[in-house]
Copies of this chain bind each other. A is one copy, B any other.
Amino acid sequence: MGSFKGHALPGSFFFVAGIWWTAKYALWHASRRNKNLGSTRLSSRVSQRRLEVIESSIVIFFSFVGILAEQFADNGPKLHLYDSVEKHWEDLMNWQHTTMYLFFGLAGTVTLILHTTEGAPLATDRLMLAMAFFNEGFLFFYHLHGRAMLDVHVHQLLLYAIFGEALVSFLEVFHRGNIVLELLRCTLTVLQGTWFWQIGLVLYPPSGPDWDQKDTGNMMFITMCYSWHLAFAMMVVSVIYCTVSCGVRSRLKRTPPMEMGLLKPRDRDPESEDEVL
């Protein structure tokens, strides 16, 4: 998968996933905060559950497509693992990517089961997500032996985002529904997405000359570039969060709820938010 497309494709997926998660959590958070304005119409528990079911079905579908693509593409291993004639492993890269997709598929499957049946511990979905990200980072980590300096460096920077997401997902096992952690996870997902694009542009530039893989200036620039990607991801998440929050509030204001008696004074909101967090 060492090509520009091979990095742009997962990058786009993570970028879209980050944006989608931000919108979802912003919507839920806004409707939880504006309960007194009747926002339960927007995100009841039943509709939340339906959304989770749809999301995890999509995750499973794309994981499956990814596995098939890795295995049966032109130069894929086609489920052969060991070439016993020439005594070497077949296309280990493709098998590693297959394994990564497998874990995201497993996470999707568990989430699907959790939200269609009763009685399973809900927090398991975050644990599975943490495992999937940890596994991705784990495979990338042992994947870099003997490459050029800049190549190693851009992949190492990627690990910050991946292990960061694994850690945040694990923390969510204990702090489920904490909007700050959720937005942090969204930010890191967007960061991972844009950084995959950056890796593709650096290692396989579609136009112009190749980058000098041993230049210290390039190393320093790439490091700083990572910070810019982070800042960009933070801004993307902020803008989406604010847009959704304002949208929910303005829409709720136009259609006043039935039970006006339950309306609490607006100025108490910040404190209650503080207590919840």
Contacts and interface: CB of A to CB of B under 8 A. Distances in A.
Nearest to A276: B121
Interface in A102-133: 102-103, 106, 110, 118-124, 127-128, 131
A135 B30 CA distance: 29
B173 A269 contact: no
Contacts of A45: 271
Interface stretch (A5-13, A58-66, A141-149, A194-202): A141-149
Contacts of A138: 160, 223, 226-227
A92 B226 CA distance: 14
Nearest to A142: B223
Interface in A62-97: 88-89, 92, 95-96
A259 interface: no
A152 interface: no
Contacts of A29: 121
Interface residues of A, number: 68
B89 A217 contact: yes
Nearest to A107: B234
Given A92-B221, A143-B220, A220-B143, A227 B273 contact: no
Nearest to A215: B88
A176 interface: yes
A277 interface: yes
A155 B93 CA distance: 23
Given A89-B218, A138-B223, 14 more contacts: A45-B271, A89-B220, A96-B224, A99-B231, A106-B234, A118-B267, A121-B180, A121-B277, A123-B180, A123-B277, A127-B180, A131-B230, A138-B226, A176-B277
Interface of A: 29-30, 33, 45, 88-89, 92, 95-96, 99, 102-103, 106, 110, 118-124, 127-128, 131, 135, 138-139, 142-143, 145-146, 160, 173-176, 178-181, 183-184, 216-221, 223-224, 226-228, 230-231, 234-235, 238, 245, 249, 266-267, 269-271, 273-274, 277
